[in-house]
A and B are shown apart, each in its own frame.
Chain A
Amino acid sequence: MSSHLREIEIPDVLERVKTGVDAFDELVMGGLPRARTTVVGGTPGSGKTIFATQFLAHGITKYGENGVLVTFEEPPSDIEANMRGFGWDLTAWRHAGQLAIVDASPSTGDELVIGDFDLAGLLARILHAVQSVNAKRVVLDSLTQLFDHFIGDPTVLRRELFRIAAALKQAGLTVLMTAERSTEYGEITRHRLEEFVADNVIILRNVLQREKRRRTIEVLKMRGSHHAEGEAPFTILGGQGLVAVPLSSLRLEQQSSMIRVTSGNPAIDEMCGGGFFRDSVTLVSGATGTGKTLLVTNFLAGGVAAGEKAVLFGYEESRGQLFRNAIGWGVDFAQMEADGRLRVFCLYPEAQGLADHLLAIQNLVDEIKPNRIAIDSISALERVSPESGFREFLISLTSFIKKREIAGLYTATSKSLIGGETASEQHISTLTDSIILLRYMQEHETMHRGLMVLKMRGSEHAKEIRRFTIDGRGMHLGEPFKAAPNVFASGDIDYYRR
């Protein structure tokens, strides 16, 4: 009985099989190890079937590797219909001999199990399908369903699953098996299926956090191989399937250039020691009404005037409002758009999850290829996300901007009018290269506005707090405040300087 459980020779260096989910392949050092079995665990609705089907779909369309889909749950016709929405035409691939489907979905007839049995029938069908399309990739979706089918005989099932996994491995096939989990954090899979079949274990999660769904993928185990640790966010998009957000690429190793670009305001350029660095991200923080959006407007207009292309992502105000504001400060966004120098995108933060916001920004930037982008505001996006997700979002966005050698400007709204800090400032102060603070300052009986360059990585900068005014031509910097006690909350400056 155990004759085909021979020792399997494992090559020293594992060849990688790309899933085609780019950011995921990065997490696992290039792809899933060839001729190994990977169990993908997840609660219902976590995207297991989509991930598994995508593995086959990309094999066929991108890497010239045919596949076999063994379905224990849904009949093939349902799967083919469901996957069409992601742009995967399983029917066509089947007809072209690139894909074979083994239908192991429950039959309607009566069935009784008495005594011992094996799953040689299933294995024979899988191997036959593999042979018929010369497959390199096999998906079993889902093991849990198969297990439930023979629920009375768990010992037999374990033994048989092990045999199937071993036989597929021996045939050099890269196998992905899905398995259901009952909870997001706890037992890895129901019936602990992964223990006896899996070389590798991947977990998909779909967690409700602060009334938002947050999807993540985690590599739990990868036998004989390194992998990135922790949960990486992903999203599911129509026409594409599962898209992971690259997190492992956030080692902040971007080469900083010493090329300066204008902030759009000559006086601020001077305070910064000659302007912003080209591939740097600057945070402008201030209470509402201190002039953050004006700074953004100047930043965009300054770039356009220097012959650059600029993009604005607005999350607080409508296009109409932004355009009217700009006109009020003597800047004509509409003309800049007509000239192909500027693009303005306004979105409700609540319209989608942060992972989707990030992908939208990345796609647009890669399409438009701007020299500078502004996000107004980062704190509006923070509203819609759990804290951990927000930090990941900021890290990914910042690293993306720097990789593209773009100048970035974020705004953040502080909650208190005088001094104070926001949670986004806490997250971001260590990530951004420069920080500009806008604050209301009380002097005698009147309120003034003050601007300070708090941090400028890799450069000297002015240390004083400059008063400024705003009129129909924009922002005008004046003399430094002579004495400005307690304008920043206690410990404020120390905090940023950390």
Chain B
Amino acid sequence: MKDSLLRLYIAGKSAISQRAEQNLDQLRHLIQPACRIEIIDVLVNPEVAERAGILATPTLSYEHPERPRRIIGDLGDTKRILEFLGLELKESNG
């Protein structure tokens, strides 16, 4: 199975964008199997946002071949995010 990809769309250095980046950084260490992370700044790459159909920022896009999902917001609520994406916490978490 290919690596899953979590792509985060942010808008420049706004407070909410930075918060989302930090929250995602914490999140990535909690999940298994490991996901690749990609960060797209819509202010720098609006054409990428156009192709992906991004309206809101931050948007976290879970690029899963069978069940792609998106979460809009600052990614503060780890539990709900993992539930929605169907990802599991690492056993050895601690």
A307 in contact (CB, < 8 A): no
B5 in contact (CB, < 8 A): no
- Is A112 in contact with B16, judged by CB distance below 8 angstroms? no
Nearest A residue to B71, CB-CB: A112
- Is B50 in contact with A102, judged by CB distance below 8 angstroms? yes
Q: Which residues of B contact A116 (CB under 8 A)?
A: 16, 73-74
- Is B14 in contact with A111, judged by CB distance below 8 angstroms? no
User: Which residue among A112, A113, A116, A129 has the maximum number of chain B CB atoms within 10 Å of its CB?
Assistant: A112
- Is B14 in contact with A120, judged by CB distance below 8 angstroms? yes
Among A107, A117, A125, A146, the residue within 8 A (CB) of B49 is A125
Complex CA distance for A127 and B67, rounded to whole angstroms: 31
B55 in contact (CB, < 8 A): yes
Complex CA distance for A81 and B5, rounded to whole angstroms: 36
B33 in contact (CB, < 8 A): no
Interface size on A, residues (CB 8 A): 27
- Is B12 in contact with A117, judged by CB distance below 8 angstroms? no
Q: Which residues of B contact A125 (CB under 8 A)?
A: 42, 46, 49-50, 54
Complex CA distance for A1 and B14, rounded to whole angstroms: 7
- From 63 to 84 in chain B, residues with beta carbon under 8 angstroms from any chain A beta carbon are 67-77, 80-81, 84
- From 97 to 146 in chain A, residues with beta carbon under 8 angstroms from any chain B beta carbon are 102-104, 107, 109-122, 124-125, 127-129, 146
- Is A112 in contact with B84, judged by CB distance below 8 angstroms? yes
- Is B69 in contact with A120, judged by CB distance below 8 angstroms? no
How close is A406's CB to chain B, nearest CB, in angstroms? 54
Please judge, given known A-B contacts A114-B81, A115-B76, A128-B47, whether A121 and B71 are in contact too, CB under 8 Å: no
Q: Which residues of A contact B12 (CB under 8 A)?
A: 120
- Is B69 in contact with A118, judged by CB distance below 8 angstroms? no
Among A107, A117, A120, A150, the residue within 8 A (CB) of B53 is A107
B11 in contact (CB, < 8 A): yes
Please judge, given known A-B contacts A110-B69, A125-B46, whether A117 and B14 are in contact too, CB under 8 Å: no
Q: Which residues of A contact B47 (CB under 8 A)?
A: 128
Complex CA distance for A269 and B49, rounded to whole angstroms: 76
B15 in contact (CB, < 8 A): yes
How close is B58's CB to chain A, nearest CB, in angstroms? 7
How close is A449's CB to chain B, nearest CB, in angstroms? 74
Complex CA distance for A128 and B44, rounded to whole angstroms: 10
B57 in contact (CB, < 8 A): yes
A149 in contact (CB, < 8 A): yes
How close is B83's CB to chain A, nearest CB, in angstroms? 10
B37 in contact (CB, < 8 A): no
Please judge, given known A-B contacts A110-B69, A112-B70, whether A117 and B50 are in contact too, CB under 8 Å: no
- From 26 to 55 in chain B, residues with beta carbon under 8 angstroms from any chain A beta carbon are 42-43, 46-47, 49-50, 53-55
Please judge, given known A-B contacts A112-B84, A125-B49, A125-B50, whether A117 and B57 are in contact too, CB under 8 Å: yes
How close is B26's CB to chain A, nearest CB, in angstroms? 15
- Is A104 in contact with B53, judged by CB distance below 8 angstroms? yes
Please judge, given known A-B contacts A115-B73, A115-B74, A118-B11, whether A127 and B57 are in contact too, CB under 8 Å: no
- Is A121 in contact with B75, judged by CB distance below 8 angstroms? no
Among A107, A114, A122, the residue within 8 A (CB) of B80 is A114
Complex CA distance for A124 and B73, rounded to whole angstroms: 17
Among B58, B67, B81, the residue within 8 A (CB) of A110 is B67
How close is B8's CB to chain A, nearest CB, in angstroms? 12
Complex CA distance for A124 and B49, rounded to whole angstroms: 8
Would you mind naming 22 contact pairs between A and B with Cβ atoms under 8 Å apart?
Answer: A1-B14, A102-B50, A103-B53, A109-B68, A111-B71, A113-B72, A113-B73, A114-B76, A114-B80, A115-B73, A115-B75, A116-B74, A117-B16, A117-B58, A118-B14, A119-B56, A120-B12, A120-B14, A121-B56, A122-B56, A125-B42, A125-B50
Question: Shortest 6 CB-CB distances between A and B: which pairs?
Answer: A120-B11, A128-B46, A115-B73, A121-B54, A114-B73, A124-B42
| Contacts A114-B72, A115-B75, A121-B11 known; 6 new A-B pairs at CB < 8 A | A116-B16, A117-B74, A118-B16, A120-B11, A120-B57, A124-B42
